[in-house]
Amino acid sequence: MQDRFENYILAQQLNNLTKKLNPSSGLQKKLADWICEEGQSKLGIMIPEYDEDRPNSLKQMKHLAEFASNGWGSDKKQISSATWHDLKNLISKSVKKFNTRTKSRLQKNVDALAQEVGFDDIETSILGIAIRVGSDDIYKNLCDSLFQDKKITVNRLIASLLGVSLTEISARLKRSSPLATTGLIKMKLDAWNSDFSDFLKLPDSIVSAVQPPNEGIGDIEEAIFGKPCNAELAWSDFEHLRDDRDFVANLVRGAVRSKTKGINILLYGSPGTGKTEFCKTVASYLEFNMHAIGEVDDEGDEPDRKERIAAFVCLIIC
């Protein structure tokens, strides 16, 4: 069952696109094709059937009906201004039809995650696009289709979807921007042979974490980082490391009490020597929660250095 607010978001973005797309680029035709293919299932947009034997029987949407009957899916690069006018009217009606201030649970989760990492309103909207591209194949198809022939840049397409200036979007897609440095979004702004969906790539864990029935930042963080690790060994099992054990425990306890932002403890040793179990035991002794971060990537394999750092940055910010 579709959510009214999600329909409203999509209708708004389609409406913003109708105001920005250049007819000579062929992007208007691509949007019209998408509406003909997916408009009814996504927004209930009904395009009347065209009867060539009674062309004057349609009092409204005549040109769009004719396009849907004959022009949709063709190799034409442009559509007529009359057809575009009909399409804009349909999309505008969808905006009014779904207009609501009651946010979907998905949007509330997007807002909660964005607030937790300190995103502003535009960064939050970009995060919303990335999440919907990662979770909605039909929405992903819309963005990829418009970007397919590279008649529009990534920045300009996002600006057009959101109805904000290109300058505002470009400032937020820099490699030094919060969107990039948090590690939430893996931006590939130099991959010109990619689809739009490849440019704003979210880890599967992030996309899944904000989906209902998860609700609120607590559910989101648990979905991303997993449940706290349980210690399998007792404090006394590390008596042979008593000095080091007590030093680490006192250091961590003091850092938490003084609200120190970040301390680093390097445990060196071959795999299987008990480094992780030592950490679990210290956390249990101090009655703190411990999460294992950056152990696997989205495919379940060992993450590379960049993926490990992104996971740690994400944890620190959250």
85-142: per-residue pLDDT in tens? 989 999 999 999 999 999 999 999 999 999 988 999 999 999 999 999 999 999 999 9
Inter-residue contact 242 to 196 (CB < 8 Å): no
pLDDT, position 317: 41
Judge if 304 and 236 occupy the same domain. yes
Q: End of a domain among 98, 131, 161?
A: 98
Q: Which of 38, 31, 33, 36 is nearest to 14 (CA)?
A: 31
Inter-residue contact 297 to 311 (CB < 8 Å): no
Structure tokens, 247: 């030093």
Judge if 81 and 168 occupy the same domain. no
Judge if 295 and 200 occupy the same domain. no
pLDDT, position 208: 92
Inter-residue contact 66 to 169 (CB < 8 Å): no
Q: Total domain count for the chain?
A: 3
pLDDT, position 196: 92
pLDDT, position 289: 83
* Residue range(s) defining the domain that contains residue 134: 105-223
d(CA 80, CA 88): 12
d(CA 88, CA 17): 10
Judge if 10 and 52 occupy the same domain. yes
Judge if 163 and 255 occupy the same domain. no
d(CA 21, CA 39): 18
148: amino acid identity, one letter: Q
Rg over CA atoms, the chain: 25
Percentage, residues of the chain above pLDDT 90:
48
Judge if 109 and 218 occupy the same domain. yes
Return the half-sphere exposure (C-beta side, CA atoms, 13 A cut-off) of residue 74.
11
Q: What CA dihedral angle connects 284, 287, 293 and 295, to 10 degrees?
A: 10
d(CA 30, CA 47): 16
Q: pTM score, two decimals?
A: 0.78
Judge if 174 and 122 occupy the same domain. yes
Judge if 168 and 217 occupy the same domain. yes
Judge if 19 and 48 occupy the same domain. yes
Judge if 94 and 39 occupy the same domain. yes
Low-confidence ranges of the chain (pLDDT < 50): 57, 309, 312-318
Inter-residue contact 311 to 293 (CB < 8 Å): yes
Judge if 186 and 243 occupy the same domain. no
DSSP secondary structure string, 114-183?
Answer: HHHHT--HHHHHHHHHHHHHHH-HHHHHHHHHHHTT-SS-HHHHHHHHHT--HHHHHHHSSTTSHHHHTS
Structure tokens, 267: 């445990």
Q: End of a domain among 66, 98, 130?
A: 98
Q: End of a domain among 48, 80, 98?
A: 98
Judge if 267 and 204 occupy the same domain. no
d(CA 182, CA 249): 29
